[in-house]
Structure 1
Amino acid sequence: MKIRYAKKSDIKIGVDLGAVMWAESSFISSDYSKEKLYKWADSLIDDENGFVAVAVDDNDILFGMYLGCLEQHFFGNDIYARDYLWFVEPSKRGGMAAVKLVKKFEEWAKEKGATELRPGISTGVYMDKIKGLYERLGYEHVGYLFKKQIEKEA
């Protein structure tokens, strides 16, 4: 297993793997557009402020990914790194891939001059386990994320 930056040739399998993440997450009630994701991932790979790393097996088959970006706080000029998604295929969980993906993100953010990292948990999946993992990696729990579905009128 190794962690590397994503290549354009990884996009299709990454989008397919993303569908697995979407299906087990709190986002299941939202649509999943592969076409939109192909374009978004393509631009994120090219973006100097974008981060796309993948976990691959010994045959270079993608089974995990971490996507993020650099942003400036709305209230000041400090740059921080945030995640878009962090996912490891269910059959590959329990190893070191998840931790190594986070570490790669941390290294990238530091090299880019970020002053802090602000990942979140928005999928609703394994929240306590993920929170515990982040805390073991030195992260501080600083907030919550809420969801409320808007009912469509008949």
Structure 2
Amino acid sequence: MAERRRRDERGSTMVMIIGFAAVLLMLTAVVVDASAAYLERQGLDNLADGAALAGADAGASGEDVYTTGVDEERLRLFADSARAGVDDYLARSGAYADHPGLRVAVSVDPAARSVTVRLRAPLTLPLHVPGSPERAVIGATGSAVVSPQR
């Protein structure tokens, strides 16, 4: 009788070990995917900030800056130049190659002299957790304000 109980207990232990191993593997996949998503978002944050700064710089570098000078009332932000500056920055930094499917939205507010850049890119996760979405999208926003220094 004692031998029969030991065999029954060993079978129960095996199921429990397999269950714990499955949970551990899923937790590992979640941590790896979360870390990859965090790092990707940090990279997009840096790109968005740099693009906003480049756009603000390009947008405030109109011809009037060189011909008439700049004071607080006359500094203007040119939307087309700002958008071109953002696009140029993203192209030079290799953002389009590093993030296939990158979508860019640029908002220019001439009254506030600000440029806001919103980036969205598909996220490829290294591991797939059952029940998680097949395709994920990650986004970042950066903004810059132009004001003359005295």
User: Greater share of strand residues, 1 or 2?
Assistant: 1
Which has the larger Rg? Answer: 2
How does the TM-score come out when normalised to structure 2?
Answer: 0.23
User: Greater share of helix residues, 1 or 2?
Assistant: 2
How does the TM-score come out when normalised to structure 1?
Answer: 0.22
1 or 2 for the larger relative contact order (CA 8 Å, sep ≥6)? 2
